[in-house]
Amino acid sequence: RKEVEQDPGPFNVPEGATVAFNCTYSNSASQSFFWYRQDCRKEPKLLMSVYSSGNEDGRFTAQLNRASQYISLLIRDSKLSDSATYLCVVRDSNYQLIWGAGTKLIIKP
């Protein structure tokens, strides 16, 4: 079983819709959680950190469920420019980052 698992997608979503995807992690001692965004043939960039109380940044909301060991990312009013691969990242107790393989999102006009 992978330490960090994501649905690879692709999620095909019409512009303006709301889309959500989850990421599960296997190590209950994981410390911190992040979502990175990676555009096609580009490097990953931090989208947002995920706090225990959940956090929101504009159209993006991230939540953490420690009991079920998953984090989620919700995108409201999706834009064409949101098309990308979203990488779930978990920091373990050794301060190493464990990366998911990513969920591909395609926003269609």
Among 24, 86, 102, 107, binds other proteins (CB under 8 A): 102
Beta carbon nearer to other proteins, 45 or 66: 45
* Beta-carbon contacts of residue 19 (< 8 Å; ≥ 6 apart): 11, 13, 74, 75, 78, 105
Say how many residues touch other proteins, by CB under 8 A.
19
Of 17, 39, 42, 51, the one binding other proteins by CB under 8 A: 42
98 binds other proteins (CB under 8 A): yes
Stretch that binds other proteins, among 2-10, 14-22, 63-71, 73-81 (CB under 8 A): 2-10
> From CA 98, how far away is CA 78, in angstroms rounded?
27
Give residue 53's Cα distance to chain centre: 16
Q: Does residue 95 bind other proteins (CB under 8 A)?
A: yes
Nearest alpha carbon to residue 33 among 46, 17, 45: 46
- Judged by CB under 8 A, which stretch of 11-19, 55-63, 70-78, 90-98 contacts other proteins? 90-98
Task: Give the strand pairing for 19-25 and 70-75.
Answer: antiparallel
- Give the contacts of 52 (CB within 8 A, at least 6 positions apart): 64, 66
- Which stretches of the chain bind other proteins, using CB under 8 A? 2, 4, 8, 32, 42-46, 87, 91, 95-102
